């Protein structure tokens, strides 16, 4: 076996040192009725070329799916990934290390995380960011639990129904059984934004936080500043959730608008779609709440000779020390994805991220115009959007199916997620959608709507 180095000679030499006659002797102390005597029912091992053949065959079974003709967003976004990002991620010194328990020989990982924290804090407009979480959805759930820790006497969290439904489901799962905290959902108004009257009705001294998508699942850019003012007046925290982090290259940051905790899905920042995972949870907050934060944090310090260096810090929040009293059960982060995002943000830089975001605005709005040339097709919400939006399309489900037969994935049928939003498609375009692909979608839609 090519991954296991032991020759028969090695095994015998080791057994001789151990003074036993077989490997079996080392497990003879296991209860006999638990010993598994039958072989595992798995196929015999394969050579590299055979594995490659098998998996390539599976990879090529994604029949009919063409990234170029897919206008899917809804929580996962196709974006350019410079090859340098993947090259750095593949460096074995990064990929095959673990949590930097020994900082003297982990400065590479630690400095990368410090740079990551710096970039994320800046992107989200808040003072402190952690070393990352699993994904945007679980980061949202952790943010809700954090709000409860900051305001332990409060028992409710208000969540916009226009927050990505999978994020809401994850928050709900984390809250089930969690003592003293329940979830109240708030609707949207005709603009697609959180309904101010509903917010006013529910905001009281029982509420620890208000959770809102930015942009929300409809692509609508919520008024975080207004929500934040209302929340603050009620003594509650504002939690902003961004499933598409490229949007923050151009939109005002959640922090400058008044969010107390901001989370995001960082998949857009150099991480392949990979059928939805791994992703990258970005998590930032105001510095006064840092000791309530979940997850790892890297801080700068000095060594014995005064050289600058980095260590894991403020670990007294964490499970390996606090056990059942920890701020979270999270043990690691998504370190390699954080590296990818760091390299991506450095390559794009100050100018590039903004330019990338603006190109998304331009392409998606060009697509919006192209699609609206079909009679009866119009935006569901009359609000500015970033790179995805909701279209009203007569007989949306049938139209979507007809387009699929022509090789175009017209986003998702929104009724699958919101029963009350009938005849709506949620559509996305990014910098990867060419003029040709966009115009073809426009023509195909005209033919599909009858």
Residues 361-420 that bind another protein (CB under 8 A): 361-363, 365-366, 384, 386, 404, 409, 412
Q: Is 219 in the site for another protein (CB under 8 A)?
A: no
Binding mask 345-364 for another protein (x = CB under 8 A): xxxxxxxxxxxx-xx-xxx-
- Of 205 and 303, the one with the shorter C-beta distance to another protein is 303
- Of 302 and 419, the one with the shorter C-beta distance to another protein is 302
Q: Is 123 in the site for another protein (CB under 8 A)?
A: yes
State yes or no: cis peptide before 122, omega within 30 of 0: no
Footprint (CB under 8 A) of another protein, residues 296-315 = 296-305, 307-311, 313-315
Q: Is 80 in the site for another protein (CB under 8 A)?
A: yes
**Whole-number Å distance between alpha carbons of 335 and 111:** 12
Footprint (CB under 8 A) of another protein, residues 23-42 = 23, 26-27, 29-31, 33-36, 39-42
- We find the least distance from the C-beta atom of residue 448 to another protein, in angstroms, to be 16
**Whole-number Å distance between alpha carbons of 245 and 123:** 9
**Whole-number Å distance between alpha carbons of 442 and 437:** 9
- We find the least distance from the C-beta atom of residue 156 to another protein, in angstroms, to be 17
- We find the least distance from the C-beta atom of residue 347 to another protein, in angstroms, to be 4
- We find the least distance from the C-beta atom of residue 238 to another protein, in angstroms, to be 17
Q: Is 103 in the site for another protein (CB under 8 A)?
A: yes
- Of 234 and 310, the one with the shorter C-beta distance to another protein is 310
- Phi, psi for 317 (deg, rounded to 5): -80, -15
Residue 128 CB partners (closer than 8 Å, separation 6+): 117, 121, 284, 285, 286, 287, 290, 293, 297
Q: Residue 254 to residues 54, 233, 335, 410: CA-CA distances in angstroms?
A: 46, 18, 24, 30
Q: Is 75 in the site for another protein (CB under 8 A)?
A: yes
Q: Is 173 in the site for another protein (CB under 8 A)?
A: yes
162, 245, 328, 444: which one binds another protein (CB under 8 A): 328
Footprint (CB under 8 A) of another protein, residues 42-61 = 42-46, 48, 50-52, 54-61
201, 288, 422, 435: which one binds another protein (CB under 8 A): 435
Binding mask 128-167 for another protein (x = CB under 8 A): xx-xx-xxxxx------x------------------x-xx
Would you call 296 exposed, middle or buried from its count of C-beta atoms within 10 A (0-12, 13-18, 19+)? buried
What string of DSSP letters covers 150-197?
A: HSTT--EEEEETTS-HHHHHHHHHHHTT-TT-EEEEE-B-TTSSB-HH
- Of 203 and 333, the one with the shorter C-beta distance to another protein is 333
Query: Is the Cβ–Cβ distance between 427 and 71 less than 8 Å?
Result: yes
Q: Which of 374, 388, 376 is nearest to 444 (CA)?
A: 374
**Whole-number Å distance between alpha carbons of 334 and 61:** 29
């Amino acid at each position: 076996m090519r991954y296991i180095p032991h020759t028969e000679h090695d095994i015998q030499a080791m057994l001789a040192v151990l003074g036993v006659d077989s490997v079996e002797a080392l497990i003879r102390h296991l209860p006999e009725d638990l010993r598994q005597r039958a072989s595992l029912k798995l196929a015999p091992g394969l050579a590299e070329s055979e594995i490659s053949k098998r998996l390539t065959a599976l990879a090529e079974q994604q029949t009919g799916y063409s990234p170029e003709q897919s206008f899917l967003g809804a929580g996962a976004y196709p974006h350019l990934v410079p090859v340098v990002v993947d090259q750095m991620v593949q460096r074995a010194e990064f990929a095959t290390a673990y949590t930097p328990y020994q900082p003297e020989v982990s400065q590479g990982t630690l400095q990368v995380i410090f740079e990551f924290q710096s970039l994320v804090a800046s992107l989200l407009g808040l003072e402190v960011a952690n070393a990352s979480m699993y994904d945007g959805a679980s980061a949202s759930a952790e943010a809700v639990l954090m709000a409860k820790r900051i305001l332990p006497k409060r028992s409710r969290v208000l969540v916009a129904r226009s927050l990505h439904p999978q994020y809401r489901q994850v928050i709900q799962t984390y809250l089930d059984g969690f003592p003293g905290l329940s979830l109240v959902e708030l609707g949207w108004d005709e603009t697609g934004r959180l309904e101010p009257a509903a917010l006013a009705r529910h905001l009281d001294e029982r509420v620890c936080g208000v959770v809102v998508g930015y942009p929300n699942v409809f692509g609508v850019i919520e008024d975080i500043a207004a929500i934040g003012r209302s929340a603050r007046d009620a003594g509650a925290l504002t939690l902003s959730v961004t499933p598409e982090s490229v949007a923050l290259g151009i939109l005002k940051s959640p922090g400058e608008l008044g969010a107390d905790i901001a989370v995001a899905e960082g998949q857009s920042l150099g991480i392949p779609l990979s059928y939805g995972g791994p992703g990258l949870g970005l998590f930032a907050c105001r510095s006064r709440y840092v000791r309530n934060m979940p997850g790892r944090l890297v801080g700068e310090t000095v060594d014995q000779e005064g050289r600058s260096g980095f260590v894991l810090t403020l670990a007294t929040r964490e499970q390996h020390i606090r056990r059942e009293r920890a701020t979270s059960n999270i043990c690691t982060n998504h370190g390699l994805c954080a590296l990818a995002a760091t390299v991506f943000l450095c390559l794009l830089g100050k100018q590039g991220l903004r330019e990338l975001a603006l190109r998304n605005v331009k392409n998606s709005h060009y697509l919006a115009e192209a699609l609206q040339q079909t009679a009866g097709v119009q935006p569901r919400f009359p609000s500015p959007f970033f790179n995805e939006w909701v279209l009203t399309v007569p007989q949306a489900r049938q139209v979507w199916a007809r387009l699929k037969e022509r090789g175009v994935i017209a986003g998702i049928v929104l009724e699958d997620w919101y029963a009350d939003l009938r005849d709506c498609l949620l559509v996305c375009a990014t910098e990867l959608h060419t003029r040709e692909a966009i115009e073809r979608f426009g023509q195909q839609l005209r033919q599909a709507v009858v």
